[in-house]
Amino acid sequence: MPADSSQPSVRLQRMPWLLLLVLAFNVATAQDADRARVPQPPNHALTYTIALTDRLRVAVFQEPDLSIISRVDANGNINLPLTGEINVVGLTLPDAQRKVEEAYRVGRFLRNPQVTINVEEYAPRTISVQGEVRNPGQLTLPIESGMTILDAITRSGGFTDTAKGNAVTVTRMMPDGTKKVITIDVQSYIRGDRKARVEDTTLLLLPGDVVYVPQRLI
């Protein structure tokens, strides 16, 4: 029986499609590699952390006498029945719940406490942007999402022509009363410099932070 002479031609017809698939795969791989090298946009997702002067409702399951509403004081504490003061500032709500439960267990007040904490009233959440931006002033931080230093500068109108964007500072008051100053190179990130430190520009600002953009020497 004669060989099917159409088979080689079928294989030849399929070859261009195979080449196109290989080429498309290589292009996609190269694009993924480029994206990995270039700084990526920040992720604005935020898990809420308790702030000074937040008003919290603390409920203890089946213990109505222990369920209260307490405002976070200047030291970051809430004052609870039996346990007294517990520092919760900077904690997420689930972390604060676990901390209060642990305090009741360690103090042997409750064997298996189940605590729920909710925010009854949020503290004013503002930051200040000063120096070489087009619209300096205060900004209100969103509750359910974060604001990065890049967001803050953008919302303040961006850098002026004389801004020193590679030496932006964030001054933050720490819970122990000390000040922490963080210097960030925002300009490199804006320019897409591959040496830019993405973790710097994705730093989430906290209430009371002061962002300062210095003036460069002309």
The SS3 call for residue 169 is strand
pLDDT attached to residue 199: 61
Burial 52-89 (b: 16+ CB within 10 A, else e): bebebebbbeebeebbeebebeeebbbebeebeebbbb
Average pLDDT estimate for 7-29: 52
**CATH fold group of domain 126-213:** Outer membrane lipoprotein wza fold like (3.10.560)
The SS3 call for residue 186 is helix
Rounded to 10 degrees, the C-alpha dihedral 16/17/18/22 comes to 100
Residue 84 has which token pair? 């007294």
Q: How far apart are the first and last CA of the chain?
A: 89
Contact criterion met (CB below 8 Å) for 49 and 123: no
Alpha carbons 40 and 60: distance in angstroms, whole number: 43
Q: 5: left (phi > 0), else alpha (psi -120 to 50), else beta?
A: alpha
Q: Which of 5-14, 72-81, 144-153, 200-209 has the lowest mean pLDDT?
A: 5-14
pLDDT attached to residue 132: 96
Give the number of other CB atoms < 10 A from CB of residue 166. 17
Which residue type is seen at 191? R
Contact criterion met (CB below 8 Å) for 105 and 88: no
Residue 19 has which token pair? 């080449």
Q: What CATH superfamily classification does 55-121 receive? A: wza like domain (3.30.1950.10)
Tens of pLDDT along 89-147? 889 999 999 999 999 999 999 999 999 999 999 888 899 999 999 999 999 988 767 78
Q: Please, is 144 exposed, middle or buried when counting C-beta atoms within 10 Å of its C-beta (0-12, 13-18, 19+)? A: exposed
Place of tokens 């000074």: 52
pTM of the model: 0.58
Contact criterion met (CB below 8 Å) for 66 and 82: yes
Kindly list the domain boundaries of the chain, sorted by start residue. 55-121, 126-213
pLDDT attached to residue 22: 53
Residue 44 has which token pair? 């604005």
Tens of pLDDT along 22-68? 555 555 554 444 443 333 444 444 578 888 889 999 999 999 999 99
Burial 115-124 (b: 16+ CB within 10 A, else e): bebebeeebe
The SS3 call for residue 126 is strand
Tens of pLDDT along 161-216? 999 999 999 999 886 778 999 999 888 887 777 666 666 667 788 888 999 999 98
Residue 25 has which token pair? 């795969």
